[in-house]
Amino acid sequence: MRYRFTLAVMTAAAVLTGCAKHAASDAPDEFAAGPTQIDVSHIKTRADDGSSVFLTVDGKDAGRLPNGESKLLHVPAGKHQVGGYVPTLFGLGRVTIAPVEVTTSPEDVKKVAYTVTRNKATFVENKGEQG
């Protein structure tokens, strides 16, 4: 009987841990104002499981990016690393997606796309679509 109770408690704790609110959703205030902009899009693909990605800029949480949506980040001019991560099952860890380096300037909005192809998640700069 104890074994079943212990198993039930551990399962409930794991499920509730996965439902916990992520601190990344509170972080976007830092990226709400600034002289330059980065427009990050989460491109829908067949290989994507529909999970949201949590964006990072220079290693700092920049907010949640749901599948099929875009997020405009305001940053100082210069070089920045735009990357992210996806929480693992039950929120016990995370899978980090390698960042892409972009150089921002006040003259244009940098466009970055997050895509999943053949089970590989990547961030890429859309160089032909600035403006």
Q: Which tens digits make up the pLDDT trace of 91-106?
A: 788 999 999 999 999 9
Percent of the chain with pLDDT over 70: 76
Percent of the chain with pLDDT over 90: 54
Phi, psi for residue 18 in degrees, rounded to 5: -65, -25
The pLDDT confidence band at residue 61, using thresholds 50, 70 and 90, is: very high
Two tokens, residue 114 = 């997050």
Residue 96: the pLDDT is 94
Residue 34 burial (CB < 10 Å; 0-12/13-18/19+)?
middle
Residue owning tokens 């892409």? 100
Q: Which residue has the higher pLDDT, 129 or 96?
A: 96
Q: What is the pTM of this model?
A: 0.74
